[in-house]
Amino acid sequence: MATRAHQVEDAQVLEAEGVARRHGTGLFIPADYRTEQKMNSSTADNAVQWLFLDLNAFFASCEQQENPALRGQPVIVVQTPTDSAVAIAASYAAKGFGIKTGTLVKDARRLCPAVIPVQANHRLYTEYHDRTLKAVDTCLPVEKVCSIDEMACRLLGPSGRCRLRGNLR
């Protein structure tokens, strides 16, 4: 892909391992979007106000937490244990083989013959969701629950004051 000079001027090239491997070249990040230039320079006028938590591979991680033998293994969570089912979650190890949410079990087995399909246990995921909310809420008030594995915490209250709780160590 040809890039014009004005598109990369004032941009940084990132050679992230996964990005470079999948796309062959670096990822251009315009200077306005680079967070390292803005970190630790917040003032009262431009302070970061929200913390958004998105727990990646949540269902697969819950299964691995419950069954230590699954830890580090390529795990996919499925509704039914059939080859025509799709993965509703994939562990980090499974993602390393190119398996992702929506991948058919038969395709996952082709990508990784050692993949371990686990039948979904939504009661378990709800329990972990509740435990996670309680744990986060001991440090920072959870303002909004966006989904079973996503939540938003307001870092500053209406007065512009920090809203941390006292349990941080």
Residues taking part in catalysis: 150
Largest CA distance in the chain: 55
Contact 102, 70 (CB under 8 A): no
**Chain-centre distance for alpha carbon 10:** 28
Contact 77, 108 (CB under 8 A): no
Q: Phi and psi for 162 in degrees, rounded to 5?
A: -65, 140
Half-sphere CA count of 140, side-chain side, radius 13 A:
20
CA 92 to each of CA 36, 58, 121, 135: distance values in angstroms, whole numbers, following the listed order: 26, 10, 19, 23
